[in-house]
A = this chain, B = another copy of it.
Amino acid sequence: MSKITKKVKDILSHYESDNPGTKTNLARILGAGRLGGTGKLIILPVDQGFEHGPARSFAPNPAAYDPHYHFQIAIDAGLSAYASVLGMLEAGADTFAGQIPTILKVNSSNSLSRAKEAPDQAVTATVQDAIRLGCSAIGFTMYPGSDQMFDQMEELRELTAEAKACGLAVVVWSYPRGGNLSKEGELALDVGAYAAHMAALTGAHIIKVKLPSDFIEQGEAKKVYDKHPVPTATLADRVRHVTQACFNGKRIVVFSGGAAKSEDSVYDDARAIRDGGGNGSIIGRNTFQRSREDALAMLDKLVRIYKGQE
């Protein structure tokens, strides 16, 4: 059973236009695992096989070639949800039915494709797939700045409308990329806050963005930040600004960990997310590219950080 605490009820109250079906699925994610009821969440995403290929994803820990591996570790670590692509969920949806909320990633890119100014993803699964696989949400990546952005938003509109009508939640990965954006600008604070805000405006329930730097990309935005400064010195400050851009904290926002890195920086990131008022982490390669033992230890510590115990 999900832990429906006062904190969870507060969060759910902000999704005031959603039907009980969608709220039930949000409640499942917020109530699952060791962070259930706290309003914090850790999600395990495994879409890197699509994005980077199998060997780059799983060769460091070959047990991870097996789809069951990821379901099991997400359950054993007491995470909030497991997010993956069609084939991966199909290969374990029955064995692990009801043991952890799942999120079906419905679009995907890959590193054999080339796209300079118009990065895009293919829509590789449907809302109907999510329903038949017992998922709680669909996941969708959009690339603000890309010349494909408008097309992506129109795909998202259709998938979101169908998902909401079917009582599912919608998780939007909002990753600035392409068009006129500079490489540094992809992680800029103004761009990251904008990307999070657009995900909220398109009707996302859970927003996933990258942790922002203190760089400001857009000239017009810089003028405003100069005139109306917000604290940006620490990562927690910047998380707080992104949270503000998510309807002043009325939408759940989680941050990605990026490439595999040292444990300490993973923990520092989580503390900043927590202190800045973010809702949690979505942490893939840092999980499955470690051994199962190391990953479980790391996730245990992350849970304790979000519980305020570290």
Interface residues of A (CB under 8 A from B): 14-18, 49-50, 52-56, 59-60, 62, 65-67, 85-95, 108, 110-114, 120-126, 128-129, 132-133, 144-145, 147, 149-151, 153-154, 157, 161, 176, 179-181, 190-191, 193-195, 197-198, 200-204, 218, 220-221, 224-225, 227-228, 230, 241, 244-245, 247-248, 250-251
Q: How many copies does the complex hold?
A: 5
Known interface pairs A122-B153, A153-B122, A220-B56. Does A86 touch B202 (Cβ–Cβ under 8 Å)? yes
What are the residues of chain B within 8 A of A195 when measuring CB–CB?
112
CB distance from A80 to the nearest CB of B (A): 22
Q: Supply 17 A–B pairs (Cβ within 8 Å), ascending by A.
A: A16-B90, A16-B92, A16-B95, A54-B245, A59-B224, A59-B228, A66-B248, A86-B202, A87-B202, A110-B149, A111-B218, A112-B145, A112-B191, A113-B150, A114-B179, A122-B151, A126-B161
- Asked if residues A17 and B133 are in contact (CB atoms below 8 Å), the reply is yes
Give the nearest-CB partner of A194 in chain B.
Answer: B53
What are the residues of chain B within 8 A of A201 when measuring CB–CB?
49-50, 85-88, 108, 124
Give the nearest-CB partner of A189 in chain B.
Answer: B55
Q: Complex: how many Å from CA A196 to CA B130?
A: 23
- Asked if residues A129 and B161 are in contact (CB atoms below 8 Å), the reply is yes
- Asked if residues B161 and A65 are in contact (CB atoms below 8 Å), the reply is no
User: Shortest 10 CB-CB distances between A and B: which pairs?
Assistant: A16-B94, A122-B150, A59-B228, A122-B153, A53-B194, A87-B201, A17-B90, A54-B245, A66-B248, A54-B197
Give the nearest-CB partner of A151 in chain B.
Answer: B122
What are the residues of chain B within 8 A of A151 when measuring CB–CB?
122
Give the nearest-CB partner of A152 in chain B.
Answer: B122
CB distance from A250 to the nearest CB of B (A): 6
Give the nearest-CB partner of A245 in chain B.
Answer: B54
Q: Complex: how many Å from CA A146 to CA B36?
A: 44
Set B54, B157, B202: member contacting A126, Cβ < 8 A: B157
CB distance from A309 to the nearest CB of B (A): 31
Give the nearest-CB partner of A223 in chain B.
Answer: B56
Q: Complex: how many Å from CA A129 to CA B160?
A: 11
- Asked if residues B179 and A60 are in contact (CB atoms below 8 Å), the reply is no
- Asked if residues A49 and B197 are in contact (CB atoms below 8 Å), the reply is yes
What are the residues of chain B within 8 A of A161 when measuring CB–CB?
126, 128-129
Q: Complex: how many Å from CA A93 to CA B129?
A: 30
- Asked if residues A65 and B112 are in contact (CB atoms below 8 Å), the reply is no
Q: Complex: how many Å from CA A90 to CA B181?
A: 30
CB distance from A294 to the nearest CB of B (A): 15
Give the nearest-CB partner of A156 in chain B.
Answer: B124
Q: Which of A111, A113, A133 has the most CB of B within 10 A?
A: A113
